[in-house]
Amino acid sequence: MKKEKVLKILLIIIILILITGFVVGGIIVYNKINEKDFGTKQLLTQEQAIEKAKEIAQKLGKDFGNVKGAMYSDYTSSGEIWGISTDTNLSIDIHADTGKLSSMFDTSIDDTKIPSTTNKQQAEKLLKQTYLDLGYKEGEYELKSAGKNMISDDTNIWNADFCKKYDGIYNSGECIRIGIIPEKNHLKTLVIFDYKFENNEVVIEKDKATEIAKNKEKERSKDKVLEKIETKLDIHRTENDTTRKVWSVDITYKNSMYTDRVTYFIDATTGEMVLESFYL
């Protein structure tokens, strides 16, 4: 009886592997896609993705080493992605349709073991130079923010976001995020945000957007005391994965126990409510 149960379990495992395409225990772990899907979607094969990752690593001056894993995912916020990991502590994500870099993480150097001797001014200078060294042009993206990663007291990573600007507004959906260990001149992280921006016309006026948000909020705020309302023009990714100009209406209520705030995002062209965020 026990033998039959073991055989049944093994049979189920084999069937699951065949259905899902996962191979566990080998060097490569990947999500299987049949040739028809590749042909229809024109996605990179596993071998092509690994070659692209090697090219990217070489351009970034990284030691690629040997592949530890290659996984395809079609449910990420960045779209369809091939994730490649190596035995040199590199993780490279590339877009499965274009072969372009989505992100790179290099953990070959433990930043917590490197004493921090760099101030913000020095770090910003190094980050700007790294941006140029990566092949980006002066003014193509603008420095939006820079600061030290505060994950823990001994973390020694400085990050910067270089973003595109439209009508004086930073678009967080079109940014280059760079992370370095200054003392080692080591590029630790590189993340590229490249969401399509529609650059829609601003038709709805600021006061109108504020009124739309206040009307939406009336029912929820019956017994609350308003502290302040702040409205600003912004660029934001909406729920249907488009990036558009919106009015960000931030409503804060008086509360001594916790932060009671809600932000409504109103489409600057149509006046439609595209997103809302609550902070408690």
Q: What pLDDT score does 74 carry? A: 83
pLDDT category, 40, cuts 50, 70, 90?
low
Q: What pLDDT score does 279 carry? A: 62
Q: What pLDDT score does 177 carry? A: 98
Q: What pLDDT score does 256 carry? A: 63
- pLDDT of 189 higher than 80: yes
Mean of pLDDT values over 200-208: 96
**pTM greater than 0.85:** no
Q: What pLDDT score does 94 carry? A: 96
pLDDT in tens, 245-257: 999 999 998 876 7
Report percent pLDDT > 90 for the chain. Answer: 66
Q: What pLDDT score does 42 carry? A: 86
More confident site: 183 or 152: 183
Residue owning tokens 């919106």: 246
Of 16-20, 181-185, 214-218, 234-238, which range is least confident?
16-20
